[in-house]
Chain A
Amino acid sequence: MLTLFYIFAAISIICAFGVLFMRNPIHCALMLVGTFFCLGGIYVMLNAEFVAVIQVLVYAGAIMVLFLFVLMLLSTNEPSQVAVKWDAAKMLAVIITGGIFIQVASIFSDSALTLGEKGNYPLEKIEEIGSITLIGQLLFTEYVLPFEIISILLLVAVIGAVVIAKRRFN
């Protein structure tokens, strides 16, 4: 189990570095799909099967297809010679980001990290009721207001995208 997690983690990190250093943006997009698949595998190992399915369908499917559409629509010139042009400011960015990562990771790996109290849904209960049933119940009872607000947000995003991307006829 843990070995599988390490394999998925390693592939996802390699693919994430691919996003960072690939010259062609389309290759970056494909690398990102690889990261999303590996994260979906990790979600399955964490007993969140439904989220894993949503991850692959919506993220690796819909959103990345949208990215590829826009990329193929817009990229007319050939990819640049280098992915990253290094200068002093970018070196500084790398150093600062590395420092932030080390700081955050040291907090996370601290054994004195205190967690809140346990919730009401241990693994046995989730497997008894069923993960998808439980998510549906919560979504339509406890989180029904955020659920409705998120539907309005989607509507606004759809209308906004159409209005912004529409070609203006004069």
Chain B
Amino acid sequence: MIPLTHILILSALLFSIGVLGVMLRRNVIVIFMSIELMLNAVNLSFIGFARSLDSMTGVVFIFFIIVVAAAEAVVGLSIILAIYRTRKSLNIDDFNLLKW
């Protein structure tokens, strides 16, 4: 039996690395990958809690999270594609369309 604390700390560490990826990297697709990493860290803590609390709710919620992550990836990547057509860049600093 894996102790819950270890799972939660691994989850927190992966989440922190994801946050760092969002803040440090400038490539917009790598930022997106970091967001996926954060979603996965949350999934891991959901499973850990579900196992240690003898509940199935966390396991069912994982499915919803995975579907939302897939939808988010699809819409986000198509937005990146649309912006790339006009800006010809993947650097997030060039994406200042909404600034005035």
A contacts, CB < 8 Å to B: 1-2, 5, 9, 12-13, 16-17, 19-20, 25, 28-29, 32, 35-36, 39, 42-43, 45-48, 50-51, 54-55, 58-59, 62-63, 66-67, 70-71, 73-75, 80, 83-85, 90, 93-94, 97-98, 100-101, 104-105, 108-109, 113, 115-123, 126, 131, 134-135, 138-139, 143, 146, 150, 153-154, 156-158, 160-162, 164-165, 167
Q: Which of A28, A104, A131, A150 contacts B64 (CB 8 A)?
A: A150
16 residue pairs of the A-B complex, CB under 8 angstroms, read: A1-B2, A19-B34, A25-B29, A58-B70, A59-B66, A66-B73, A67-B29, A74-B81, A113-B5, A119-B53, A119-B57, A121-B54, A121-B55, A135-B60, A138-B56, A150-B67
Q: Which residue of A lies closest to B90 (CB)?
A: A74
Q: Which residues of B contact A126 (CB under 8 A)?
A: 56
Q: What's the least CB distance linking B47 to chain A, in Å?
A: 5
Q: Which of B2, B18, B67, B70 contacts A2 (CB 8 A)?
A: B2
Known contacts A63-B70, A97-B16, A165-B78: does B37 contact A35 (CB below 8 Å)?
Answer: yes
Q: What's the least CB distance linking B84 to chain A, in Å?
A: 5
Decide if B92 is an interface residue (CB 8 Å cutoff): no
Structural contact, B77 and A51, CB atoms closer than 8 A: no
Mark interface residues in B26-59 (1 if CB within 8 Å of A CB, else 0).
1101101110110010011001111111111101
The docked-state distance in angstroms from the alpha carbon of A41 to that of B30 is 24
Decide if B6 is an interface residue (CB 8 Å cutoff): yes
Q: What's the least CB distance linking A78 to chain B, in Å?
A: 12
- Beta-carbon contacts under 8 Å, B50-100 to A: 50-57, 59-60, 62-64, 66-75, 77-82, 84-85, 90
Known contacts A134-B56, A161-B75: does B32 contact A93 (CB below 8 Å)?
Answer: no
